[in-house]
Amino acid sequence: MVVNCSRPRPPGVSHSSASGEPVVVPKIWDEEQLATWATPVAGLGVPPGHFTEAEYYAAPIDNLRTYPVYHPKFEPPEYREWMKVQGPRPLIEPEKLKTKADWIEAGRRVFEELDSAVTRTDDPVVLNHFRDAASIDKYRGASHDAITRDGILLEYRWVVDSDQKLKISLSSCASCHTRLMLDGTLLRGAPSNFDLADSPAEEVLVSSLFPKPDLPDGEEFYQFFGVPWAAADPHAKFKAMNDQEMDAFYALESGAPPGTTFPRFNGSPLYATRMADLIGVKDRRYLDTTATHKNRGPEDIARYGILVEFADKAVFGSHKFASEMNTRLKVRPPDEAMYALGLYIYSLEPPKSPHPFDAQARRGQKIFEAEGCGECHTPPAYTNNQLVAVPGFEPPDDARRHGLDVSHRRVGTDSGLALKTRKGTGYYKIPSLRGLWYRGLYEHSGSVSSLDDWFDPKRLRDDYVPSGWKGPGVKTRAVPGHKFGHDLSDEDKKALIAFLRTL
């Protein structure tokens, strides 16, 4: 599975560019930088643990390019034979990158081609599924395994592994941060709006991504999501569930459209995580809705990519979870590849909105200014990059020492994700309003699917039916917090929404 197709360089070296200006690739998994990167976890007062610099760089490098997976009806003739002939090829070749533009372009390829190496398989069940158009169409349904207008299945990649075998794997960065637009184009960096079909191939691939511990299903669930330091940990009840009860729980609908929310490892299916929008991220100081990590430059984007794909140790203070899974650090990507990825993501600018800046939108902008919205959503990034503490959490006196800029405001936002998950810091970051028109879901768990719903006071009531993510088996619940704009007239709300859609 492992191949190092490029000459290894010591971390932190300079690569000359055509203009003579060096492109400096920093050591990404740097102990000094890691020590001040993560936000302390609420209830513990310490940041999550991480693999040491020595542990990380002891892992062998995986540097393999990958290829699109086509629906059989669109697959080019002799495509699979052509890939086999290519053999294992490098994803990045730093010695060929001469300018910063070259590095950004290389980062685009990393974004599109990086795969989850642990899922690579030549299992006949998987290969046969992707040869069979009828099988793909049977499981794909109306909204899973999205296909581009060129016939590419967005969740998967072909790879010629170091053993020379052609395999399929799950896509990494692009699968969560690419949006398939109505016209069939792709908006890279935006939250995804598709996910895996529930097919036999998916079972094989996901089982490699999350190998099943030798535990009952309820205990396994707790290893993924439990928060033993939280008062009345809502996940504790799952430890006593048998396999059938756990299967029934997983079968419950949560109400969210495909791909937009995710019960990620160290997150929770009880408090879903909305897919992040990476477009314009260079203007934001924190990563994740709960500001789990600082964003100090492209190298922090690189670190975060490494954390979620290669090196999540799942250690929180004295608590260590899913020890069978903590062998994920089997390989690591080249620092050059991940730094190029960071440069690419930093280059992403919000696309021009299709909504016109007309008379109604201009009126909405005046309402935005008159209502003081810019105090928190300050132009041009439309965020002041501060954090808001949730009910039940008091920011510690040393918050600023940890590099946290905490707002004096309290808006009564639901505290579940921020206090009852391993992603919980006690805060939510004040989001940027840029790109609201394409994101699809609003609120930290994606509970609301339209701006009209967001400005409707009905969402504060317990009998409200969330138009986005509801929660497993949930029919109605309030979506609290952020009452600003609720007292506007209907016409003023329409004007404000018209303005927000232009951002």
pLDDT digit string (tens) for 382-393? Answer: 999 999 999 999
Residues 460, 451: Cα–Cα separation, whole Å:
14
Query: Is pLDDT above 50 for 7?
Result: no
Mean pLDDT of 344-362: 97
Residue 98 pLDDT grade (very low, low, confident, very high; cuts 50, 70, 90): very high
Q: Please state at what angle helix 243-250 crosses helix 217-225, rounded to 10 degrees.
A: 50
pLDDT reading at 4 higher than 50: no
- Please say if the pLDDT value at position 27 is more than 60: yes
Say yes or no to pLDDT of 2 above 80. Answer: no
**pLDDT in the model for residue 251:** 78
252: which DSSP letter? S
Task: State the pLDDT at residue 428.
Answer: 96
Query: What pLDDT score does 402 carry?
Result: 80
User: 91 Cβ partners below 8 Å, 6+ apart?
Assistant: 5, 63, 64, 65, 66, 109, 110, 113, 114, 333, 334, 337
pLDDT attached to residue 242: 84
Q: Is the pTM of this model over 0.85?
A: yes
Rg (CA), the chain: 23
When pLDDT is averaged across residues 51-70 and rounded to a whole number, the result is 96
Band of residue 209 on the pLDDT scale cut at 50, 70, 90: confident
Average pLDDT of the residues in 145-172 = 93
Residues in the chain: 503
What does the block give as tokens for 20? 């003579």
> Cβ distance 60 to 144 under 8 Å?
no
pLDDT, residue 349, reads 95
Looking at residue 238, its pLDDT comes to 87
CA 86/CA 171 separation, integer angstroms: 20
- 395-408 residue pLDDT tens: 998 878 788 999 99
If we measure between CA atoms, which residue out of 328, 350, 220 comes closest to residue 278? 350
d(CA 318, CA 81): 51
- CA distance linking residue 82 with residue 236, whole number of Å: 51
Structure confidence at residue 326 (pLDDT): 54
Return mean pLDDT, the chain: 90
Confidence bin at 325 (pLDDT 50/70/90): low
Cα 73 from chain centroid (whole Å):
30
Task: Give the number of other Cβ atoms within 10 Å of residue 374's Cβ.
Answer: 13
Mean pLDDT of all residues in 255-284? 88
How confident is the model at residue 10, as a pLDDT? 43
Q: How far is CA 58 from CA 54, 162, 330, in A?
A: 6, 19, 10
Percentage of residues in the chain having pLDDT higher than 90: 72
DSSP-assigned beta bridge partners for residue 158:
67, 168
What average pLDDT score do residues 144-156 get?
87
